[in-house]
A and B are shown apart, each in its own frame.
Chain A
Amino acid sequence: MNIHEYQGKALLKENGVPVLEGVHCTSVEQALAAYDTLGSKVVAVKSQIHAGGRGKGTLYNPDTKEHVMDGGVKIAFSKDEVEKYSSHILGNLLVTIQTGEEGKVVNNLYIESGCEIEHEYYLALLVDRDNKSVLIMASTEGGMDIEDVAHNTPDLIHKILVDPNSGLLGFQKRDLGMALGLSGAALKSFFKMLGKMYDMFVSNDCAMVEINPLVKNKNDEIIALDAKISFDENAEFRHKNWDVLRDLSEEEDVEIRAKETGLSYVKLDGNIGCLVNGAGLAMATMDVIKLYGGEPANFLDVGGGANEEQVKTAFSIILEDPNVKGILVNIFGGIMRCDIIARGVIAATEALSLDVPLVVRLAGTNVDEGKAILASSTLNIHPADDLAEGAKKIVSLIGGEA
């Protein structure tokens, strides 16, 4: 789960990590008031969306698609400029390298005090899968795309791994600061900041904290100038405040509804809907549809213990997508019995008066009973014995290549 920069900054501040003063705004009036409140001649006017590359993004009118302004993050040197930039940003579509062509409408702004920057650094904390521990990465090459730095100058990225038994140790913080070339007051400031940030990472169940740039100002203070923070969704049960931080407008509505009913759904661009049990098999089903010339419309895992109601919900979610021209059901019954799935499929197709071709592949527990139930139905259901046959059938039924 991602949060906005302004929320991340508030979290950092709460946890003792130095950030600049800033105000979250949703209107131009608020932005102008924020300029007065901050009392800083120079301020940054920053678009708040859940995607990177904002500074180099482009704003468009969401209706006419006309170009409005280059850059989703602007430095304003006067109140007039704050008015100009915030009115150009709010309500418009920001397209960045990470949003895709469709972009994202900007509903939130962050007005932040200016800062005299001496040097920009990069800092990130994340869970490293290979080492099964928290990894802290830092670089002197702040403000740049870290993927590029990693590719071109890997020597400039410094890493430390935190042993979960001992936590982040003093020498590790010092070593990392020194690797960045810090000394004296700046090193002390970095040392203190990193300890606070690690504690915040752990106590908030973060998945990733990325500060790009982290800066050193003229007074040798280390300050987080940006904040990209995401949380581990598995830990939601112990963080009641996440409900407030979640921006539902940044998430696919249908994916949220699917999740609420225990289904895992991801919308794709194709026209063959998939209903599968198990995440691995659901991915494999999409892959095989593509292999035989079709295009999957979605990923959908109904889980291990789905009942008739969930199967019905799954069908209705798939059918919300107007591109869907046919559906492939692929169930390997383990704990879930095929006869129950067969009844669920029939009930759902009747209730939703399904009018697109439906191919059903059943295997595993009670497969013969399941197949018999489907065969005895008067509905237009095409059976398949294995995944390849199922994929070929649905592709040919919707007039594809296979």
Chain B
Amino acid sequence: MAIWIEEDAKVLVQGITGKQGHFHADKMVEYGTNIVGGCTPGKGGQTVELQGKDYPVWDSMREAIAATDADATVIYVPPPFAGEAIMEAAEAFDAVKGEGVVVCITEGIPTLDMVKAVSYVYNRPGVRLIGPNCPGIITPGENGGAKIGIMPGHIHAKGRIGIVSKSGTLTYEAVAQTMSIDEGQSTCIGIGGDPVNGTGFIECLAAFEADEQTEAIVMIGEIGGNAEQEAAAWAAENVTKPIVGFVAGATAPPGKRMGHAGAIISGGKGTAEEKFAAFEAAGIACAKDPSELGAVLLESLKKAGLR
């Protein structure tokens, strides 16, 4: 078991005929992801070649899911159309099979589009949205696995550490840190750096806590908002597995947006200091330097009798 996405999950790609969508769909197949086709309105009936094999394209998500019984979809649709792509996927999963995972990679979606899309997904309780503005989700397997997103697959290995992060490359850094102490990952999730997104830290922590394969968790946050503080308070009450944490942006000046739309200290709130303090108060072992995540994790595993 892993969380939400099994190693052999059937995956659709929205925007598969676009440059980004095609490039990453090819990389996903190369990793071993079970891609079952894609959706681009107006291009139904065509095929797309990935790693030397042809994959079908549908006009709508309803058709695509009905034909393939897909478990998940990944969206590489440009920002003006991404909000609606999320809602189409949510509606189709809900109508056709009552459940599904929607992963949105797109960066730069208008916030009010996301307010609408998140509410739309929320009203379809079987559907989970991950992202947007995120690297995606990966469940490494023995041979390949399910890589749904843009992360470099080859740095991962199947194991018992669950990783959740707002940032892309910092998630890769965390993965490399687990590998440096000979630990693999159960599932790694990038929840994204936008102010309004789908799945949050708490849902990830709850799923990792319930997952048999996961034995410890790495949680990486950044400045802006108070999702980290809420997650830490929740974890203190509800998570028994060791958690290791890091927060990026201790040196970020207030009022400046640091790359991610949501990474901003406003009105003196959402600082790294505040978040580190919340982590520590919740008993989360913190690394002040991401290159020390491995060492801190190893110590936590030893303390818990897991090494």
User: Could you tell me which A residues sit within 8 Å of B by CB distance?
Assistant: 127, 129-130, 132-134, 147, 163-165, 202, 205, 207, 232-235, 237-238, 264, 266, 268, 276-284, 286-291, 296, 299, 301, 304, 332-335, 363-365, 386-389
Q: B115, B118, B171 — which one has the most chain A CB atoms within 10 A of its CB?
A: B115
* Chain B residues with CB under 8 A of A334: 135, 150-152, 168-169, 172
**Complex contact A279–B290 (CB within 8 A):** no
Interface string of B248-289 (1 = CB under 8 A from A): 111111001111111100011000100000000000000011
Shortest Cβ distance from residue A128 to the other chain B in the assembled complex, whole angstroms: 9
**Complex contact A132–B172 (CB within 8 A):** no
A365 is contacted by which of B120, B154, B250, B258 (Cβ under 8 Å)?
B154
Query: Quick one: closest A residue to B154, CB to CB?
Result: A365
Given contacts A129-B195, A130-B230, A279-B167, 4 further A-B contacts (CB under 8 A): A165-B119, A287-B251, A332-B176, A364-B172
* Chain A to chain B contacts (Cβ below 8 Å), 20 pairs: A127-B196, A129-B226, A133-B119, A164-B119, A235-B113, A237-B79, A280-B168, A280-B169, A280-B248, A281-B167, A281-B173, A283-B258, A286-B251, A286-B252, A299-B258, A299-B259, A335-B152, A363-B172, A363-B173, A387-B291
**Complex contact B258–A132 (CB within 8 A):** no
**Complex contact A296–B251 (CB within 8 A):** yes
**Complex contact B258–A278 (CB within 8 A):** no
A129 is contacted by which of B135, B258, B262 (Cβ under 8 Å)?
B262
**Complex contact A284–B150 (CB within 8 A):** no
A299 to B168, CA, bound (A): 16
A320 to B222, CA, bound (A): 28
**Complex contact A284–B173 (CB within 8 A):** yes
With contact pairs A129-B196, A234-B79 given, residues A280 and B115 touching in the complex (Cβ less than 8 Å): no
**Complex contact B251–A235 (CB within 8 A):** no
Q: A205, A280, A286 — which one has the most chain B CB atoms within 10 A of its CB?
A: A280
B30 within 8 A of A: no
* Chain A residues with CB under 8 A of B250: 287, 290
A130 to B166, CA, bound (A): 15
**Complex contact A264–B259 (CB within 8 A):** yes
A251 to B226, CA, bound (A): 28
A232 is contacted by which of B80, B112, B119, B170 (Cβ under 8 Å)?
B112
B246 within 8 A of A: yes
B97 within 8 A of A: no
A238 is contacted by which of B80, B111, B220 (Cβ under 8 Å)?
B80
* Chain A residues with CB under 8 A of B176: 332, 363-364
Shortest Cβ distance from residue A364 to the other chain B in the assembled complex, whole angstroms: 6
A136 to B150, CA, bound (A): 37
* Chain A residues with CB under 8 A of B290: 281, 284, 288, 387
B110 within 8 A of A: yes
With contact pairs A132-B196, A163-B119, A232-B111 given, residues A388 and B291 touching in the complex (Cβ less than 8 Å): yes
* Chain A residues with CB under 8 A of B115: 127, 132-134, 164
B146 within 8 A of A: no
Shortest Cβ distance from residue A265 to the other chain B in the assembled complex, whole angstroms: 9
Query: Quick one: closest A residue to B123, CB to CB?
Result: A165
B225 is contacted by which of A129, A134, A237 (Cβ under 8 Å)?
A129
Query: Quick one: closest B residue to A165, CB to CB?
Result: B119
A283 is contacted by which of B27, B223, B291 (Cβ under 8 Å)?
B223
Query: Quick one: closest B residue to A201, CB to CB?
Result: B112
**Complex contact B169–A281 (CB within 8 A):** yes
A145 to B141, CA, bound (A): 55
With contact pairs A266-B256, A268-B253, A387-B291 given, residues A280 and B167 touching in the complex (Cβ less than 8 Å): yes
* Chain A residues with CB under 8 A of B249: 283, 287
**Complex contact A234–B109 (CB within 8 A):** yes
Shortest Cβ distance from residue A329 to the other chain B in the assembled complex, whole angstroms: 13
* Chain B residues with CB under 8 A of A133: 115, 119
